[in-house]
Amino acid sequence: ITKPFNIDEVLTLVDKALEHKRLAVENRVLKSQLHEKYSFDNIVGKSPEITAVFEMIERVADSDSTVLITGESGSGKELVARAIHYNSGRADKLMVPVNCAAIPSELLESELFGHVKGAFTGAISSRQGRFEVANGGTLFLDEIGDMSPSLQVKLLRVLQERKFEPVGSAKTTESDVRVIAATHQDLEKMIITRQFREDLFYRLNVIPIRIPPLRERRSDIPLLIQHFITHFNETKRRDIQGVAPDAMDLLMAYAWPGNVRELEN
């Protein structure tokens, strides 16, 4: 503020300063909530199998090495990835998820690396890729086993050199991203059948974390059931007190092929 000043200008500046302060406080609160929500302490379970996963998350969170999370569908791979991110030094930056199985292979390259205007039919404007959006943070590549061989080569180069080119561009962009990948497939068998690159596997598998299926940690089923009852009582305005003993016996005996996701549903 420079004197002599106009009182209306001062009021406007004060309003802007207050709004900036409010947004900064909100941002800190939201980040704190995210950190709490995805703390490894909040992944439900006390069995030795899931406790080993907690310990691994705690050990590797602050590393920048790539992580490969394996486990059956519905076992909680993305929850573990988020716990790693929000307990790392990158927690104040974005974690950007990409489901490699949900995006057609011909579009996945643009989704990851971005593209420039006119790079292909329909590219009416330039667009940032997920590597650029996640810069400084974490990129979570879910279902990495579904990535096409040609794109595996390009991903390998990014992991090795920390550089990439958007589709249709000759300009190289640097990327400071920690990559966490996940799959329910057996990548080592896919290497034998030449469906997955061996060099990419070893580049991703620096820190391997296996999520046990629910049938291997049955002692966690009552805890998970109570967790979901509490959650749905709050969100659906119910007052369910618990599960009858006979019903619990059936739930404990079931194999849960869909794992925790099936139990929740």
Percentage of the chain surpassing pLDDT 70? 94
Q: Place 201 in a pLDDT band, splitting at 50, 70 and 90.
A: very high
pLDDT category, 125, cuts 50, 70, 90? confident
Strands 163-164 and 138-142: unpaired
Task: For strands 173-174 and 163-164, give the pairing.
Answer: antiparallel
Token pair for residue 231? Answer: 């959650």
pTM comes to: 0.80
